[in-house]
């Protein structure tokens, strides 16, 4: 029986019958399997070449194959009949016409993503808190261990509020340049343990171009408790990444420097376009930077009146525009604020 | 920071491939932003964070390689650099430091009879590979030493200096200098300069003067190596708008222990490549010997990282980075090298250990999280409101909170009342928006050019003085679209479409007895305020045509409204109570009537409700009509009244008797006519 591969025939059976689209193709299949010189006939005629033991087994298999073929023939025949009947039926309308609905709008992709991300953290037990966009210099910088005049502030160029009355330096008002000042506010007003996420607008005086905007959105998150560890930070962020970017996502923590966390890290995810193989979006690196994080610096804990010997915490922050741009393949940040309906309709 | 592989190999043996080395750098926190093969070398570019000025040198990076790979620094390569012979001459030469705070250490060497010429090829190649322009052997050596050791140097042409004096002082008002890049700076007392007896010859730490630069005519040089106050350099950079590789390093601070070492290395190279004799060495301060000691409990590694790292591994990492472990008992006594100013306390050592041990080797765990008592109600309610709006066909927009004064003037709002930004990028973003309206009208204007109908909303902060409040803004223009995919339209939007949505939203959060009251607003042609419990929740209305025109919206009505979300959330009432369904069938009677145009249906419905008809359970407006055959000055209305009793099936007589009472009262009080 070397010229018949029974396994192969059994495997291809269903595939063969799925190609049936007319009575003619069905009849051809019937002949091919059950015809006088069909596959079953050939298999049966080859049986005597085998030992008694083998014949028993093969015989049983051939029989069950035959039964399956007959079942398939029946099913397909019924299907063909049914479809013929449908063809004869007359319809009063054209299903190609557009369906009638109430026109629906859409959420802005930024706020949609904020909701999605907040929901993930809320499901883990975090609370959502918002803070003011006008902040004090203390909350935005000094309280977060960012010295007022230091090169590490250069990434945080800031809009200041023109004030009528001169304030002391630390009370000078500004538009927050990140969502981290809400850390200071929440920690000063509440006792640990705390698990909070903070979405919101932030402002930096950057000239507008395809990848810069003077206003954008961030989500900040932090957790303070007795024995929060870096390993917890990794676990929480990994859960977040899987929920937002998919189960297959890989994550990597790179050491970095932020004045308000120590140890600090930047977090990359495997490129969601090329899955880490390297493409133009990830500059052939296979990784995309999506957030910054770390263990809250003991100085920051001291600044809000927590004892760093008693409490530990982690914090993280991410830019929403960047995440939305990566997720939907948007290449120009200005699109978010131009609000062209042809753009908004797509989300 | 750019450097090449061969340059790095001067200091440390490297067995890794360039790609593997780049990955190792990145995972140790020295993110490689580019790696290119050039000629027989590899050029790396890494991002150096502002806390690590020690990495702005090839030697500093070599130290990291040593800590990453465990490969020791090539010791004599470092020591060899320092070799230098000093010939002390009798020459009187003075260095005056005006303030030790501005300049904690200044050193000068005088080298005579150098031969200024192009640099040898190896030197040129290295500098060119990292993008540094080559000038001549002396200037190139100062740059080369800076990139190698991180200490900026400057060479002056000694014979162009006036008098045997260098002073480091603040500039006098209106003193000026032409820097080597040809720019002229008029200085003042906020700028620290290096001066000879007559004039500034360099802007300290940033750039030398053109007059005294080393060129092919130069015979004798004065080599400066110093440390300046980083904050001062930062302010000077901001003031003058002048940046340089040297300024970049001084602003991040240099290692005082490196100042003389770098100068010695430069002299060494100069003597080798340009000849000359060192005749004099002067310094203005001694180098402090004291080192910072940190007491470190290794148990805290586990407390912070959630992983235990073996003691010998800790020792290897710290010593590899140049830390000295003075004692290793329960607690470690760690001496911090002078080039690691960023390491101040225990947590900084933990980070060093974590990053070199490898962040990826730290496990992932999930913490126990105790939910806060604050409830999520506001977020849920906002989400509900947004979903209702989306279901009604509204698109959410996000506009900039910073706007121009002009756009407010176009809206007939007072721009002087709005909160101004002290340092705007342009007059397009000079004030904080006191209303969502400018953004909404801008969006309508942009979209109505290619859409038959636009309806949008925005939720965002508006600013009134320093007070910021979340508002919901709504805007409608053009036609209502009811078949989304083929854009088939119904009627034009009217104010009733807007009113309907506002009612829907308020009712959805349990605000019921609100009222629309006429209100005069400069930017509205017809406006109403939305009142509840004596408080104004917001407004809605038809935008003033002139205002609309200023936004380039032509021949179209725009309907706009803004609601104070915080006030709404204050009044929201989410308690619901079930009302039993009517147990007996009711009877419906319709009335068609004609009434004077100036009588509002609001009045009629209010009056009927107040009269307290017992059987009347519902009254609603089901038709409204103006024009022929209704005479002008009048309007036609159809009211549908539903009567039923809670105790029995109503008879026609009962219904008719109450209905005629109602009709009579309408006739008497509003002199309506029935049709």
* Continuous H helices in B105-197: 121-129, 137-149
Give the pLDDT confidence score for residue A2 in this predicted structure: 44
Chain B residues touching A190 at Cβ < 8 A: 372
Q: Which residues in chain B have Cβ-Cβ distances shorter than 8 Å to A122?
A: 376
**Predicted local confidence at residue B228, as pLDDT:** 97
* Tokens found for residue B283: 């310094």
Higher pLDDT, B627 or B251: B251
* Closest alpha carbon within chain A to B229: A150
Q: Which one of B345, B354, B398 has the shortest CB-CB distance to A336?
A: B398
Inter-residue contact A225 to A311 (CB < 8 Å): yes
pLDDT for A199-209, tens place per residue? 999 999 988 99
Whole-angstrom CA distances from B56 to B51, B255, B339, B626 are 11, 11, 11, 81
A226 Cβ under 8 Å from any chain B Cβ: no
| Other Cβ atoms within 10 Å of A252 Cβ, number | 17
DSSP H or E stretch at residue A236: helix A230-245
Q: How near does any CA of chain B get to the CA of A104, in Å?
A: 4
Complete DSSP assignment for B434-455: S-SHHHHHHHHHHHTTT-SEEE
A223/chain B closest Cα distance in angstroms = 8
Question: What pLDDT was estimated at residue A3?
Answer: 47
Residue A95: predicted pLDDT? 81
Task: Please choose, from the candidates B4, B9, B142, B145, the residue with its C-alpha nearest in 3D space to the C-alpha of residue B77.
Answer: B9
Q: Are B532 and B514 in contact (CB under 8 A)?
A: yes
Closest to B372 (Cβ–Cβ): which among A194, A252, A265? A194
C-alpha–C-alpha distance, residues B215 and B196, integer Å: 19
CB–CB of A214 and B402 under 8 A? yes
Backbone angles phi, psi at B625, to 5 degrees: -150, 140
DSSP structure string for A45-78: HTGGGS-HHHHHHHHHHHHHHHHHHHHHHHHHHH
Beta strands at B165-170 and B94-97: parallel, antiparallel or unpaired? parallel
Q: What number is the ipTM of this complex?
A: 0.88
> Could A103 and B27 be called an inter-chain contact, meaning their C-beta atoms sit closer than 8 Å?
no
Using a CB–CB cutoff of 8 Å, tell me whether A118 touches chain B.
yes
Cis before B629 (ω within 30): yes
Helices (H), B393-544: 405-410, 437-447, 495-508
DSSP string of B417-439, one letter each residue: GSPBBSS-SSGGG-EE-S-SHHH
Confirm if A135 and A141 have CB atoms less than 8 A apart: no
DSSP characters over B292-353: EEEEE-THHHHHHHSS---HHHHHHHHHHTT-EEEEESSSEEEEEPTT-TT--SHHHHHHHH
Q: What's the pLDDT at B24?
A: 95
B424 in contact with A at a CB cutoff of 8 Å?
A: yes
Torsion on CA atoms B120, B123, B127, B130, rounded to nearest 10 = 130
Residue window 60-99, chain A: list those with CB within 8 Å of chain B: 98-99
Residue B602 has pLDDT above 90, yes or no: no
Q: Is A201 on the interface with B (CB under 8 A)?
A: yes
CA nearest to A217 within chain B: B398
Determine phi and psi for B118, rounding to 5 degrees: -60, 150
Q: pLDDT band at residue A1, thresholds of 50, 70 and 90?
A: very low
Closest CA of chain B from A160, distance in Å: 5
Residue A4 in this model has a pLDDT that exceeds 70: no
Q: B625, B561 in Cβ contact below 8 A?
A: no
A253 chain-B contacts, CB cut-off 8 A: 359-360, 362
Give yes or no for A328 touching B (CB within 8 A). Answer: no
Q: What is the mean pLDDT of chain A?
A: 89
Give backbone dihedrals phi and psi of A67, rounded to 5 degrees, phi first: -60, -45
A2 touching B, CB under 8 A? Answer: no
Interface of A with B in 270-289 (CB under 8 A): none
Top-confidence range, A152-166, B340-354, B622-636 = B340-354
Contacts with B138 (C-beta within 8 Å, 6 or more apart), sequence order: B114, B116, B155, B214, B218, B221, B270, B274
According to the model, what pLDDT value does residue B608 have? 87
Cα B319 to Cα B525: distance, rounded to the nearest angstrom: 77
* pLDDT tens-digit series, residues B333-361: 999 999 999 999 999 999 999 999 999 99
Residue A107 near chain B (CB below 8 Å):
yes
Element of type H or E holding B636: strand B634-643
Q: Which residue has the higher pLDDT, B190 or B579?
A: B190
Please name the member of A105, A161, A225 whose beta carbon is closest to the beta carbon of B389: A105
A339: alpha, beta or left? (left if phi > 0; alpha if psi -120 to 50) = left
pLDDT value, residue A150: 76
B375 — pLDDT class (breaks 50, 70, 90): low
Domains of chain B: 2-79 (3.30.56.10), 94-283 (3.50.40.10), 292-361 (3.30.56.10), 377-571 (3.30.930.10), 587-674 (3.30.70.380)
Rg of chain B over Cα atoms, rounded to whole angstroms, equals 40
Q: Does A151 touch chain B (CB under 8 A)?
A: yes
Judge: A229–B305 Cβ closer than 8 Å, yes or no.
yes
pLDDT tens across B508-517, in order? 999 998 999 9
B79 part of contact set with chain A, CB < 8 Å: no
In this structure, what token pair is assigned to residue A184?
A: 């200071």
Among the partner residues A152, A163, A201, nearest to B51 by beta-carbon distance: A152
pLDDT at residue B484 greater than cutoff 60: no
Q: How far is B437 from chain A (nearest CA, A)?
A: 14
Residue A276 predicted with pLDDT over 90? no
DSSP 8-state code for residue A222: E
3-class DSSP string for B54-106: HHCCHHHHHHHHHHHHCCCECHHHHHHHHCCCCCCCCCCCEEEECCCCCCCEE
Q: Distance between CA A218 and CA A198 in Å, rounded?
A: 8
By Cβ distance, the residue of B362, B370, B460 closest to A230 is B362
Beta bridge partners of B598: none
Q: What percent of chain A has a predicted confidence (pLDDT) above 70?
A: 96
Query: In the A/B pair of chains, how many CB contacts fall below 8 A?
Result: 247
Greater confidence (A126 vs A278) lies with: A126
Q: A98, A231, A285: which to substitute to probe chain B, counting the most B Cβ within 10 Å?
A: A231
- Mean pLDDT of chain B, nearest integer: 91
Interface of B with A in 373-402 (CB under 8 A): 374, 376, 379, 383, 386, 389-402
Q: Closest to A263 (Cβ–Cβ): which among B350, B443, B459? A: B350
Predicted structure pTM score: 0.86
The dihedral built from the CA positions of residue B483, B485, B488 and B489, taken in this order, carries a sign that is positive
For tokens 């953290």, what's the residue?
Answer: A121
Residue B490 DSSP SS3: strand
Whole-number Å distance between alpha carbons of B495 and B555: 16
What confidence tier does B674 reach under pLDDT thresholds 50, 70, 90? confident
d(CA B450, CA B552): 13
Query: Between chains, do B371 and A127 touch, taking CB under 8 Å as contact?
Result: yes
CB contact under 8 A, B461 and A98: no
What is the Cα–Cα distance from A291 to A298, expressed in whole angstroms? 21
Q: Which residues of A touch B364 (CB under 8 A)?
A: 231, 234-235, 238
Pairing assessment for the beta strands A287-296 and A312-319 based on DSSP bridges: antiparallel
Does the beta-carbon distance from B395 to A106 stay under 8 Å? yes
CA distance A133 to chain B (A): 8
What confidence score (pLDDT) does residue A119 get? 94
List the single residue in B with minimal CA-CA distance to A108. Answer: B396
Mutate to test the interface with A, among B372, B432, B447, B470 (most CBs of A within 10 A): B372
Mark yes or no for CB contact A111/B398 under 8 Å.
Answer: yes
In this predicted structure, what is the pLDDT of residue A177?
A: 94
Q: Per mean pLDDT, which range of A64-73, A84-93, A234-243, B265-274 is the poorest?
A: A84-93
E strand intervals along B146-191: 153-157, 165-170, 176-178, 184-186
Question: Is B379–A128 a contact, with Cβ atoms under 8 angstroms apart?
Answer: yes
Interface of A with B in 170-189 (CB under 8 A): 173, 175
A295 to chain B, any CB pair closer than 8 A? The answer is yes
């Amino acid at each position: 029986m070397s010229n018949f591969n029974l396994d192969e025939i059994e495997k291809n059976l269903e595939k063969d019958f799925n190609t049936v689209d007319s009575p003619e193709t069905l009849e051809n299949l019937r002949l091919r399997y059950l015809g006088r010189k069909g596959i079953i006939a050939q298999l049966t005629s080859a049986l005597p070449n085998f030992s008694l033991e083998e014949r028993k087994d093969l015989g049983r298999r051939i029989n069950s194959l035959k039964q399956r073929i007959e079942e398939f023939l029946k099913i397909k025949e019924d299907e063909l009949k049914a479809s013929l009947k449908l063809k004869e039926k007359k319809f009063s309308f054209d299903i190609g016409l557009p369906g009638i609905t109430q026109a629906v709008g859409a959420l802005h992709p930024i706020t949609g993503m904020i909701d999605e991300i907040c929901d993930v953290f809320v499901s883990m037990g975090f609370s959502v808190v918002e803070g003011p966009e006008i902040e004090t210099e203390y909350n935005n910088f000094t309280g977060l261990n960012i010295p007022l005049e230091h090169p590490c502030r250069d990434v945080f160029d800031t809009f200041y509020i023109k004030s009528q009355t001169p304030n002391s330096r630390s009370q000078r008002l500004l538009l927050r340049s990140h969502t981290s000042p809400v850390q200071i506010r929440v920690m000063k007003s509440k006792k640990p343990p705390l698990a909070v996420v903070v979405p919101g607008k932030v402002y930096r005086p950057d000239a507008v171009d395809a990848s810069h905007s003077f206003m954008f959105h961030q989500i900040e998150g932090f957790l303070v408790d007795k024995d929060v560890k870096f390993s917890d930070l990794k676990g929480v962020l990994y859960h977040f990444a899987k929920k937002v970017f998919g189960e297959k996502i890989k994550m990597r923590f790179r050491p970095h420097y932020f004045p308000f966390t120590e140890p600090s890290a930047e977090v990359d995810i495997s490129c969601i376009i090329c899955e880490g193989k390297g493409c133009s979006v990830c500059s052939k690196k296979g990784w995309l930077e999506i957030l910054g994080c770390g263990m809250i610096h003991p100085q920051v804990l001291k600044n809000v009146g927590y004892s760093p010997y008693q409490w530990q915490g982690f914090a993280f922050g991410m830019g929403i525009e960047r995440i939305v741009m990566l997720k939907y393949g948007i290449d120009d940040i200005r699109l978010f604020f131009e609000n062209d309906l042809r753009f908004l309709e797509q989300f | 920071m750019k450097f090449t592989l061969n340059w790095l190999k001067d200091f440390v043996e490297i067995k890794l491939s360039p790609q593997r080395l780049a990955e190792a750098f990145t995972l140790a926190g020295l993110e490689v932003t580019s790696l290119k093969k050039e000629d027989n070398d590899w050029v790396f570019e890494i991002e150096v964070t502002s806390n690590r000025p020690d990495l702005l040198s090839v030697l500093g990076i070599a130290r990291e390689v040593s800590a990453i790979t465990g490969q020791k620094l090539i010791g004599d390569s470092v020591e060899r650099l320092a070799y230098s012979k000093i010939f002390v001459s009798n020459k009187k030469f003075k260095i005056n430091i005006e303030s030790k705070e501005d300049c904690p250490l200044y050193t000068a060497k005088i080298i005579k009879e150098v031969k200024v010429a192009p640099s040898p090829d190896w030197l040129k190649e290295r500098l060119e590979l990292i993008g540094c322009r080559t000038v001549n052997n002396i200037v190139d050596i100062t740059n080369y030493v800076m990139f190698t050791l991180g200490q900026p140097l400057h060479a002056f042409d000694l014979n162009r200096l006036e008098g045997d004096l260098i002073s480091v002082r603040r500039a006098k008002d209106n003193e000026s200098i032409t820097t080597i890049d040809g720019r002229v700076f008029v200085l003042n007392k906020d700028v620290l300069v290096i001066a000879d007896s007559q004039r500034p010859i360099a802007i300290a730490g940033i750039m030398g003067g053109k007059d005294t630069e080393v060129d092919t005519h130069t015979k004798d040089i004065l080599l400066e190596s110093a440390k300046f106050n980083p904050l001062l350099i930062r302010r000077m950079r901001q003031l003058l708008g002048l940046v340089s590789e040297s300024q970049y390093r001084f602003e991040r601070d240099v290692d005082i222990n490196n100042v003389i070492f770098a100068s010695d290395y430069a002299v060494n190279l100069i003597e080798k490549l340009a000849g000359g004799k060192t005749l004099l060495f002067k310094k203005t301060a001694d180098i402090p010997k004291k080192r910072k000691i940190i007491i470190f409990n290794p148990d805290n590694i586990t407390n912070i990282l959630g992983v235990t790292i073996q003691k010998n591994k800790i020792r290897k990492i710290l010593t590899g980075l140049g830390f000295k472990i003075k004692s290793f008992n329960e607690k470690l006594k760690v001496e911090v090298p002078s080039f690691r100013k960023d390491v101040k306390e225990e947590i900084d050592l933990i980070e060093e250990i974590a990053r070199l041990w490898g962040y990826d080797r730290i496990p992932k765990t999930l913490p126990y999280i105790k939910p806060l008592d604050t409830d999520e109600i506001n977020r849920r309610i906002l989400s509900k409101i947004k979903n209702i709006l989306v279901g009604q066909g509204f698109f959410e927009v996000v506009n900039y909170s910073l706007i121009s004064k002009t756009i407010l003037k176009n809206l007939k709002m007072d721009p002087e009342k709005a909160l101004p930004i002290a340092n705007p990028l342009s007059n397009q973003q000079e004030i904080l928006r006191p209303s969502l309206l400018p953004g909404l009208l801008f969006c309508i204007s942009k979209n109505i050019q290619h859409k038959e109908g636009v309806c949008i909303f925005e939720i965002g902060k508006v600013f009134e003085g320093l007070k910021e409040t979340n508002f919901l803004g709504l805007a409608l223009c053009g036609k209502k679209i009811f078949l989304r995919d083929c854009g088939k339209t119904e009627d034009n939007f009217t104010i009733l479409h807007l009113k309907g949505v506002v009612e829907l939203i308020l009712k959805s959060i349990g605000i019921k007895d609100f009222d629309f009251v006429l209100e005069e607003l400069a930017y509205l042609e017809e406006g109403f305020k939305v009142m509840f419990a004596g408080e104004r929740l917001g407004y809605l209305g038809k935008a003033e045509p002139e205002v609309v025109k200023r936004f380039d919206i032509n021949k179209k009505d725009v309907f706009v409204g803004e609601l104070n979300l915080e006030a709404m959330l204050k009044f929201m009432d989410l308690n619901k109570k079930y009302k039993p369904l009517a147990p007996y069938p009711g009877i419906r009677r319709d009335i068609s009537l004609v009434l004077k145009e100036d009588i509002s249906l609001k009045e009629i419905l209010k009056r009927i409700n107040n009269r307290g008809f017992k059987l009347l359970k519902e009254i609603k407006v089901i038709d409204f009509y103006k024009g022929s055959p209704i005479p002008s000055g009048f309007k036609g209305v159809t009211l549908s009244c539903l009567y039923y009793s809670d105790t029995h099936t109503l008879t026609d007589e009962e219904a008719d008797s109450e209905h005629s009472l109602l009709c009579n009262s309408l006739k008497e009080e509003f002199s309506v006519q029935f049709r």
